[in-house]
Structure 1
Amino acid sequence: MRNPTHNVSRLFIDEDLSRNVVPIGSREAHYLGHVLRLKQGDRVVVFNGRGEERLAAISSLAKRRPELTITANLEPLAEPKLDLILIQALVKGEAMDTIVQKAAELGVRTLYAVKTDFSVIKLDDERVPRRVAHWNKVAQSACEQSGRHRPPEISVAVSLAQCLDRLPPRGIRIVCQPDSTTDPARLDREAESVSVLVGPEGGLSETDLDIIDNAGFTRTGLGPRVLRADTAAIAACSLAQIIWGDFQ
């Protein structure tokens, strides 16, 4: 069945939802009880990003054993048919959080955070797992709000060249460049995979662009104004969904 109401809060939990009673963590219990102000008996939609979405009632928010009781199966919102991939050069914390949040809302399937020559942010090996875990939480929250079921897959690429080697061999590849007048709407309209690359606050270096050009990317513009990196990512992903995705 489809979600019977639009005013029921949604909650991502990494649990098997095939059971009648589902435990939740203290973080989720705190969110339900203290942020959403819900109480025992109130309804919530729970989903796990693996195809299971359920309507549940809050059984208990007690610290020792918070849990939900499943009351009905729900049909998750279908994922966009477009395989939308965002390659985002690392930017400062809040801007990166915004990009992850909006990418989840806009149907991005895979997000690569990658270091480029002019990236201000540097991530050492110890920080990478913590940042990815944080971004996953941001994406999950965005899915809770937007109705999307499956958060994007997020990873930090070792290098720009290695990141581009991971992309599907076929499909549209575009890089956002302020000085380009190429209209992405003139590219192949039948693409099933679109990779969008957005540079950092300081733009992309000539070395970066050489790597990107050699990987088969088309330089495209996003209008006459110079956009911030986070704005460019949102605009480019929205444009991709308009041209090739489900914003039609």
Structure 2
Amino acid sequence: VLRLQIGEQFRALLPNGKEALFTITAIGKSSLEVAMTGDIRSIPESVIADEERRATLPPLPPIILCQALPKGQKMDLIVRQAAEAGVSLILPFVSQHSVPRLDKSTAQQKLERWNRIIKEARQQSGSDVTTRIEPITDMKGLLEFWEQQKKITPNSQAILLHQDPLAQGTLHGYLEGNIQSVHIAVGPEGGFSDEEAAQCIEHGFKPLLLGVNVLRTETAAIFATAAVQVLLLEKASWILSNNSIA
């Protein structure tokens, strides 16, 4: 929006979550005046091309990001990036290595802030996924949430990002078949404890080591989300490729 001029158009989300096309009518030093237009003929070719591209993409199963609370303001960045990337649900939780220990009042303030960040991120990115964020829970709450999700969508997959190669499985292999939803569990600085990793694996989480580099927790979250999305989007292509090779 910052690069646009008077008369140019852009898409934005309305408070009701629906998308609309706007035309810039005036630009001030710190403000912008726009008019909502419904004239389909005035939509720029770039917007039409983007709509056509989106229409060709296969529907993705929901991606749920289970994020252990990191230090400082890192969670703000994680929430923003997750919303921009189209994550359906964010489940923040406190793990053994989480430094923040929030009281009820502070936790509620954080939740309200994260909801505002999600709204801004969706408006900025134009994401058509309604990202939600749950209240902060703990490891027990995370596992209970996962068990409940398995009852609703039995063909769901849960992936545990871990700093050690606990298994030989690959992300490609974990996402084979008719996946109904993908849960990604990311630890805080220091990762998951051995006890937490064992608990998650016992409940059906698949351990995964992302490459050879040690990633920051805020990097790991968006890295894993993007990797899952790309594999799911290209699943039809690599299934066809495998069949042709066979």
TM-score, normalised relative to structure 1? 0.71
Match in the other structure for 2:84: 105
Describe how 1:222-241 pairs up with structure 2 within 5 A: 222-241=210-229
Match in the other structure for 1:47: 13
What are the Cα deviations for residues 153-180 of structure 1, in whole angstroms up to 9, with x where unaligned?
Answer: 0123322222232232121111011211
Work out the CA distance in 1 between the residues paired with 2:3 and 2:60. Answer: 36
Q: Which letter maps to 1:85? A: I
Pairwise CA RMSD: 3.2
Structure 2 counterpart of 1:186, from 173, 184, 194: 173
Shift of the alpha carbon at 1:38? 9.0
User: Which one has the bigger helix percentage?
Assistant: 2
Work out the CA distance in 1 between the residues paired with 2:109 and 2:135. Answer: 11
Match in the other structure for 1:176: 161
Work out the CA distance in 1 between the residues paired with 2:185 and 2:191. Answer: 11
Match in the other structure for 1:147: 126
Shift of the alpha carbon at 1:48? 3.4
Q: Which letter maps to 1:176? A: L
Structure 2: where are the runs of 5+ without partners? Answer: 41-47, 238-246
Shift of the alpha carbon at 1:39? 10
Verify the 8 A CA contact 2:65 2:183 in the aligned structure 1.
Answer: yes
User: Cα gap change, 1:216/1:48 in structure 2, threshold over 3 Å: closer, same or farther?
Assistant: farther
Shift of the alpha carbon at 1:54? 1.7
SS in 2 for 1:227: coil
Q: How many residues align?
A: 211
Verify the 8 A CA contact 1:86 1:196 in the aligned structure 2.
Answer: yes
Work out the CA distance in 1 between the residues paired with 2:4 and 2:129. Answer: 24
SS in 2 for 1:85: strand
User: Cα gap change, 1:155/1:67 in structure 2, threshold over 3 Å: closer, same or farther?
Assistant: farther
Shift of the alpha carbon at 1:207? 2.7
Shift of the alpha carbon at 1:202? 1.6
Structure 1: where are the runs of 5+ without partners? Answer: 1-8, 10-35
Verify the 8 A CA contact 1:83 1:109 in the aligned structure 2.
Answer: yes
Identity %: 30
User: Cα gap change, 1:49/1:176 in structure 2, threshold over 3 Å: closer, same or farther?
Assistant: farther
Shift of the alpha carbon at 1:68? 6.3
| Residue 121 in structure 1 maps to residue 109 in structure 2 | no
Match in the other structure for 1:203: 191
Match in the other structure for 2:243: none
Q: Which letter maps to 2:200? A: I
Verify the 8 A CA contact 1:99 1:233 in the aligned structure 2.
Answer: yes
4+ long deviations beyond 6 Å: 37-42, 58-61, 73-79
Match in the other structure for 2:208: 220
Describe how 1:88-99 pairs up with structure 2 within 5 A: 88-99=67-78
TM-score, normalised relative to structure 2? 0.72
Shift of the alpha carbon at 1:231? 1.1
Verify the 8 A CA contact 1:50 1:150 in the aligned structure 2.
Answer: no
Work out the CA distance in 2 between the residues paired with 1:73 and 1:159. Answer: 49
Verify the 8 A CA contact 2:66 2:185 in the aligned structure 1.
Answer: yes
Verify the 8 A CA contact 1:113 1:157 in the aligned structure 2.
Answer: yes
